[in-house]
Amino acid sequence: MNSCCTATGLHKMALPMAALLPLVATLLAASAAAAAVCPTNCGLTDFSYPFGIGPGCSLPGFNLTCDTKNHLLLGSPNVTVDYMISASDPVSVLAVYVVRSVHMGSGAGMFSTSWEGPGTPFAISSASNMSLFVLGCGVTATLLDRGGTGAVVGNCSVVCAGEEIMRRLPDGLCVGLGCCRIDLRAHLRAFTLNISRAGHGVSSDKLSFLVAGRDRYTFRPSDLEHGIDVDKVPPAMLDWAIPDQPDCRRAMDDKVTYACVSNQSECQDSPIGGYVCRCSRGFSGNPYVVDGCTPDLGK
Ligand SMILES: *[C@@H]1O[C@H](CO)[C@@H](O)[C@H](O)[C@H]1NC(C)=O
Ligand SMILES: *[C@@H]1O[C@H](CO)[C@@H](O)[C@H](O)[C@H]1NC(C)=O
Ligand SMILES: *[C@@H]1O[C@H](CO)[C@@H](O)[C@H](O)[C@H]1NC(C)=O
Ligand SMILES: *[C@@H]1O[C@H](CO)[C@@H](O)[C@H](O)[C@H]1NC(C)=O
Ligand SMILES: *[C@@H]1O[C@H](CO)[C@@H](O)[C@H](O)[C@H]1NC(C)=O
Ligand SMILES: *[C@@H]1O[C@H](CO)[C@@H](O)[C@H](O)[C@H]1NC(C)=O
C-alpha cells in the first residue's frame, strides 16, 4: 500500500506505530508540510519554518520552546525571543534583549563579563548599526569577539562629573560622561566585555551595559543612579542565516539540505556567513517551505 515503505524495505505491519513516528516527523520536516501538525504560534507571537517547536518542526539551530508564560525561547542558552515575523513574511532579523547590570566589587580593578547568542545561525551583524553602551563611572571597557578570533572589537572610557553637573546633562548624550559607546563593526556571535578602573575621578561599583541600535537607545543620567529600566530598553537585532554552508553556491550543490525549497525562491549570501532564502520578485510568502512562495495579488 505504502510505496515509500515497501521501497525502503520496511514492512508496515511489522513496526509499532511509535517506531514510525520519528520517520513521519522527518518526512514532514523534509517536505515542510509541517504546518498542519507543528505549532505556528506561542501566545500572541507567530513564527514560521525554519523556526519551530518540537521534533521535525525546525531546521537545526531554530528549535523553539514555548514556556508556561507564553514566552518563546530559542535554542540552548535559553534566549527569549521577543519578536519574530509571522508566517507570511519571514525576515531574517530577530530581536533579543542584551542588557545587564553588574556590580564590580570596590576592591576589584578588573571585571570580565560575557554574552553568548542563541547559536550558530545568529549574530549581531556589523551591517545593522548596533552599539554596545556602557553606563558607569571611572572605567574603561574593552570588547572582545569571543565567537571568532578573540580580537578586540573596540573600547571606550567613561567618567563622571559631580552630581550637580551629571543631573543637568541633556538626555541622549553618550559621549563618555556616564555613558560611552562601542560601535559594533564586526559580526558577533558571542562577546566578552573587560572592564577596568580608569584610576582617576569618581568611580562607581554599579555598571550596566546593553546592546541596541545606535540611534535607538537614549541615555538618561538618571539611569546611572536608578539602573536601566529593563522594560524600556530597545532590543538588539540579530541577523540569522542557514549556517550549514558558507554561501549559496555551495548550498545549492547539496540538494538534500538546500533550504530554499519553494519554487520561485532565491538564495542570498548572508553578511554574517551562511545564506538566506527569499521569494522571487512578484512572489511572497515563505521560501523555506514547499510551495511557500505564492504570486503577489493585484497588478
Ligand atoms: C528543542 O529544545 C528542547 C528544549 O531545549 C528540547 O527538549 C527538544 O528536544 C528540542 N527539540 C529538537 C527537535 O531539537
Ligand atoms: C536553560 O533553562 C533551564 C531551565 O530554566 C536551566 O535548567 C538550564 O540550565 C538553562 N540552560 C542554560 C544554558 O542557561
Ligand atoms: C546603517 O546605517 C547606514 C548609514 O547610516 C544606513 O545606510 C543603513 O541602512 C543602516 N542599516 C540598518 C540595518 O539600519
Ligand atoms: C582603545 O583603543 C584605542 C584604539 O584602538 C587604543 O589606542 C587604546 O590604547 C585603547 N585603550 C585601552 C584602554 O585599551
Ligand atoms: C580580558 O579579561 C580576561 C579575564 O580577566 C583576560 O584574560 C584578558 O587578557 C583580558 N583581555 C584584554 C584585551 O584586556
Ligand atoms: C516548480 O517548478 C518546476 C519547474 O519550473 C515545475 O516543473 C514544477 O511543476 C513546479 N512545482 C510546483 C509545485 O509548482
**pLDDT by residue (tens digit) across 60-119?**
999 998 988 888 888 765 677 766 654 445 566 788 889 988 887 766 688 899 998 888
> Would you state the pLDDT for residue 88?
47
Task: Please give the residue range of the domain that contains residue 267.
Answer: 30-92+241-294
> Quick check: is 20 in a domain?
no
Q: Which residues lie closer than 8 Å to 27 by C-beta, 6 or more apart?
A: 4
Model confidence at 4: pLDDT above 90: no
Q: Best substitution site from 78, 80, 114 to test ligand 2's pocket, by max atoms within 8 Å of Cβ? A: 78
Residue whose CA is at the smallest distance from ligand 4 atom 8: 155
pLDDT of residue 6: 29
Whole-angstrom distance, CA of residue 117 vs CA of residue 76: 9
pLDDT score at 173: 92
Given pLDDT bands bounded at 50, 70 and 90, which one contains residue 27?
very low
Give domain status of residue 5, yes or no: no
Domain membership of residue 7 (yes or no) is no
> Mean of the per-residue pLDDT values for the chain?
81
User: Of the residues 234, 253, 286, which one is the last residue of a structural domain?
Assistant: 234
Q: Which of 217, 234, 251 is the last residue of a domain?
A: 234
Q: What is the pLDDT of residues 139-189, one digit of tens each?
A: 999 999 987 778 999 999 999 988 888 888 999 999 999 999 999 998 999
| Same domain membership, residue 65 and residue 45 | yes
pLDDT band at 198 (very low <50, low <70, confident <90, very high): confident
Is 88 among the domain residues? yes
- Please tell me the predicted confidence (pLDDT) of residue 182: 97
**In this structure, are 178 and 230 located in the same domain?**
yes
- Residues with Cβ within 6 A of ligand 1? 55, 63, 65, 76
Residue 22 domain flag: no
Q: Looking at the predicted structure, is the pLDDT value of residue 213 above 90?
A: yes
Decide if pLDDT at 277 tops 60: yes
- Counted domains in the chain: 2
The one-letter code for the residue type at 289 is: V
Q: Is 263 in the pocket of ligand 6 (CB under 6 A)?
A: yes
Phi and psi at residue 266, to the nearest 5°:
-130, 155
- Does residue 156 sit in the same domain as residue 49? no
113 and 224 fall within a common domain: yes
Total length of the chain:
299
Find out whether the beta carbon of 126 lies less than 6 Å from any atom of ligand 3.
Answer: no
Tell me which of 216, 234, 252 is where a domain ends.
Answer: 234
Residue 196 alpha carbon, nearest atom of ligand 5:
14
Protein residue closest via CA to atom 3 of ligand 4? 155
The answer on 288 and 200 residing in a single domain is no
**CATH number of the domain enclosing 154:** 2.60.120
Residues 165 and 208 in one domain: yes
The residue behind cell 523555506 is: 288
Please report which residue ranges of the chain form alpha helices under DSSP H: 3-7, 17-31, 163-168, 222-226, 248-253
Predicted TM-score (pTM) of this structure: 0.80
- Highest mean pLDDT of the ranges 113-122, 200-209, 239-248: 239-248
Q: Write phi, then psi, for 93 (nearest 5 degrees).
A: -135, 140
